[in-house]
Chains A and B, each alone.
Chain A
Amino acid sequence: MPSRRSKAAAMAQDLAKVSLQRDDGHLVVGLAGTWQISAHLPGTTAVEAALDGPPAPEGIQFDSAAIEGWDSSVLTFLMSVEDAAEDRSIPVDRAGLPDGVRRLVELARAVPERGARTEEPKGSPLARVGRFGMKVYDGVLEELEFVGEATRALGTFLRGNARYRKSDLRLLIQQAGADALGIASLVSLLFGLILAFVGAVQLQQFGAAIYVADLVGVGMVRDMAAFMTAIVVAGRSGAAYAAQIGTMKVTEEIDALRTTGISPMEFLVVPRIVALVLMMPLLTVYADLMGIFGGYLVGTGLLDISPRAYMEQTINAVNMTHFFPGVIKGTVYGLLVALAGCKQGMAAGNSASAVGDAATRAVVNGVVAIIVACGVAQVVSWVFGI
């Protein structure tokens, strides 16, 4: 037989063909042409129809005299044929196959099929709802357990007994704070601009363009500066925390900490929470100023408000009952983002793709937590008239 590789390359046009013949009660499957995995392959429906009869054949034989070249595609076909024959308890005689094909089929059949993953039974819709409920319940318990452990570790930290590296904490503070200034400036400046534009369109109709200063000042200081900063931090630090801790899990660094007798909660999670909780209020105050500056640019540049009037209007509008809730919200958001990031990192699986999933979940959970907290804060401040 000529070398099948060169043959297969040379004769791509000569496609694989299957012919069926009856010989003395046996079904003879004739294989012809060039079998290439990249080309169209004959299906087994015709063979199966012949197996079903009538009359059902006593056995299957093969005739491969006309085969010109083959690769694993012929094996795929043969395995399907053999499976179909096995289902119908029809014996298969492999004698007519080329030597190489026969050896490979025997190799593939040498180990009995095993360990096929048993799929969870689907069950009734009610059962599925129940299972989903249980999963949510387990998830909530896991979340609470993490928050509990983090709280205990934070307590240890506040008493000064936590085991962590001060240089790590310093670096984390720098990364969460100073390194975030650029992106925080951009986002809050633009958000101030946007607020001013949106407000100006409406307020100009009443000849009250000067109140753009109130809108931007109060809006940024009370809510939006903290909110936008937190979203940025969730994307930066939250994802980074999940990825850092998740990677340490994959490389067994967390296990190494545990066997050294160091709590990963104290060593990894607490410094990250502390860094964000310390930096978020500062970033919020900074974002307040940048946002007001954005509004100022629009007010003085496009709405013909004098700089002095804009500043005075802002100073009169914004007071401490706007400022402190904003800063407190920022701090809470920071805590939420840090918890979400660290939780996903600690819960990450043991593979590279699991780290990516953890980072994604950290950002999503962080952002959702921020929005929920923001909503709750609005309701609370409404009810208490703050």
Chain B
Amino acid sequence: MIETTAASAPPTDQISVRDLTMAYGDFVVMRDVSFDVSPGEVFVIMGGSGCGKSTLMRHLLGMIEPQAGEIFYGGESFTGASLEVRESFLRRFGVLFQGGALWSSMTLTENIALPLEEYTGLNAAEIRDVASLKLSLVGLRGFEDYYPSEISGGMRKRAGLARAMALDPEILFVDEPSAGLDPISSHLLDDLILELKESLGTTFVVVTHELASIFAIATKSIFLDTNTRTATAIGPPAELRDHSQDPAVRAFLRRGEQENE
């Protein structure tokens, strides 16, 4: 079921999106997407391949301008904000890109140090300590001086998560956490996300189509439908699987298998 009540109320939640229309030129990817995310939630953006999941995340990060609609963080408008204000928003975000996107010319420590140098007044020794701590949180203790090309894909992703957490962000965006990972590494990453949510209270926005991940981590989810080019369902995934009005949503969450009711 689509939440319609939120559209009229003034947005006060941590993330609020109102009637967002995303387009590349004349090609509309999604229209009229609205949702709210409360602090401490793990919000999963799901949908079939090519439906605009990553595009929605890029809009949330201000990397693409919306064609229509508005994005609010904590009740403040992000869409219309000046460059300086946007940067102050970005400072409160962390992003884990699909392949980790570690800067390949820097060691893991230097990767984590860069945002710290940029936004904190810590000295070099303190920054190194913080970087080591973040690396040990994702299970990469001892890999401080490795270059991204020297570690495996799963480790790169975890290191990317450590970098995304460098500034203890309020919101962590994660793009396709399980892409390119074996089931066990993928499961470990999911556990890590849950642990961080529990212990640090971080809000997560996760883009994925991996059902196991969705059911394991999501407290709330949105389904983007390629055919109607709009968000057809919002809610906890288990609830949507069993009670969604939309057969496409139920089919997606059941891997297209027949409902045995």
Binding site for B on A (CB under 8 A): 163, 165, 168, 247-248, 251-253, 255-262
Chain A residues contacting B95 (CB-CB under 8 Å) are 255-256, 259
Q: List residues of chain A with CB within 8 A of the CB of B102.
A: 253, 256
> Do B91 and A261 touch (CB < 8 A)?
yes
Assess the B114–A262 pair: CB atoms within 8 A. yes
B61 & A259 in contact (Cβ 8 Å cutoff): yes
Question: A260's contact among B63, B99, B106, B118, by CB below 8 Å, is which?
Answer: B118
**Cβ–Cβ < 8 Å partners of A258 in chain B:** 63
Of all chain B residues, the one with the shortest Cβ separation from A254 is: B101
Chain A contacts for B200, CB-based, 8 A = none
Given the complex, which residues of B lie within 8 Å of A261, measured CB to CB? 87, 90-91, 115, 118-119
A269 to B163, CA, bound (A): 23
Is the beta-carbon distance between B101 and A256 smaller than 8 angstroms? Answer: yes
Q: Which B86-130 residues have a C-beta within 8 angstroms of A?
A: 87, 90-91, 93, 95, 97-99, 101-106, 114-115, 118-119
- State the CA gap A252–B163 with chains docked (Å): 14
Report which of B98, B114, B119 forms a contact with A252, defined as CB distance below 8 A: B98
In the complex, chain B residues whose CB is within 8 Å of the CB of A255: 63, 95, 97, 101
Closest to B99 in A: A251
A163 to B115, CA, bound (A): 11
Q: How far is the CA of A115 from the CA of B202 in the complex (A)?
A: 41
- Would you call the interface of chain A mostly helix, strand, loop, or mixed? helix
Chain A nearest Cβ from B65, distance in angstroms:
14
Do residues B97 and A252 form an inter-chain contact, with CB atoms below 8 A?
A: yes
The answer for the CA separation of A261 and B86 in the assembled complex, in Å, is 9
Contact at A256–B97, with CB atoms within 8 Å? yes
Which B residues touch A248, using CB under 8 A? 103-104
Where the two chains meet, the residues of B that have a C-beta atom closer than 8 Å to any C-beta of A are: 61, 63, 87, 90-91, 93, 95, 97-99, 101-106, 114-115, 118-119, 163
In the complex, which of the residues B63, B103, B163 has the most CB atoms of chain A within 10 Å of its own CB atom?
A: B103
Contacts of B118 in A (CB 8 A): 163, 260-262
List chain A residues, Cβ under 8 A from B114: 260, 262
User: Bound state CA distance, A341 and B90, in angstroms?
Assistant: 29
Chain A residues within 8 Å of B61, by CB: 259
Q: Which residues of B contact A251 (CB under 8 A)?
A: 99, 101, 104
- Most chain B CB within 10 A, of A168, A251, A255, A258, is at A251
A21 CB, nearest partner CB in chain B, Å: 43
Interface pair A259/B104, CB less than 8 Å apart: no
Q: Shortest distance in angstroms between A328's beta carbon and chain B's nearest beta carbon?
A: 32
Q: Which 5 pairs, one residue from A and one from B, show the smallest C-beta to C-beta distance?
A: A252-B101, A256-B101, A252-B97, A259-B95, A260-B115
Distance to closest chain B CB from A62 (angstroms): 32
B114 to chain A, nearest CB (A): 7
A257 to B114 alpha-carbon distance, docked (Å): 9
**Chain A residue at minimal CB-CB distance from B105:** A168
In the complex, A255 Cα to B175 Cα: how many Å? 12
Q: Is the CB of B91 within 8 A of A253?
A: no
Contact: B103 with A256, CB < 8 Å?
Answer: yes
Give Cα distance in the complex from A163 to B119, angstroms: 12
Report how far A245 CA is from B91 CA in the complex, Å.
24
Give me 11 other A-B pairs in contact (C-beta within 8 A), A256-B163, A259-B90 excluded.
A163-B118, A248-B103, A255-B95, A256-B95, A256-B101, A259-B61, A259-B63, A259-B95, A260-B115, A260-B118, A261-B87
Chain B contacts of A262 at CB under 8 A? 114, 118
Residue in chain B with minimal CB distance to A244: B105
Rounded to whole angstroms, the CA-CA distance of A260 and B163 in the bound complex is: 10
Task: Give chain B nearest CB distance to A136 CB in angstroms.
Answer: 19
CA distance A80 to B192 in the complex (A): 54
In Å, the complex CA distance between A165 and B103 comes to 12
Give the distance to chain A from B57, nearest Cβ to Cβ, in Å.
11
B88 nearest CB across to chain A (Å): 9
Residues of B contacting A259 in the complex (Cβ-Cβ under 8 angstroms): 61, 63, 90, 93, 95
A259 to B114, CA, bound (A): 12
Shortest A69–chain B CB gap in Å is 34
Nearest residue in B to A258 (C-beta to C-beta)? B63
Q: Complex formed: what's the CA distance from A258 to B102 in Å?
A: 13
A-B contact pairs, 23 of them (CB 8 A): A163-B118, A247-B104, A251-B99, A252-B97, A252-B98, A252-B101, A253-B101, A253-B102, A255-B63, A255-B97, A256-B95, A256-B101, A259-B61, A259-B63, A259-B93, A259-B95, A260-B115, A260-B118, A261-B87, A261-B90, A261-B115, A261-B118, A262-B118
A260: chain B residues within 8 A (beta carbon) = 90, 114-115, 118
The residue on B at minimum CB distance from A256 is B101
Min CB–CB distance B8 → chain A (angstroms)? 32
User: Smallest distance from the beta carbon of A162 to chain B beta carbons, Å?
Assistant: 12
In Å, the complex CA distance between A90 and B91 comes to 66
In the complex, which residues of chain B have a beta carbon less than 8 angstroms from the beta carbon of A257?
103
Closest Cβ–Cβ distance, residue B116 to chain A (whole Å): 10
CB distance from B150 to the nearest CB of A (A): 15
Say yes or no: A253 contacts B104, CB within 8 Å.
Answer: yes
Would you call A253 and B63 a contact (CB within 8 A)? no
| Minimum C-beta distance from B204 to chain A (A) | 15
Name which of A168, A247, A253, A257 has the most chain B CB atoms within 10 A of its CB: A253
Q: A217 to nearest B CB, angstroms? A: 42
Task: Give the shortest distance, in Å, between A219 (CB) and chain B (any CB).
Answer: 40
Q: How far is the CB of A363 from chain B (nearest CB, A)?
A: 22
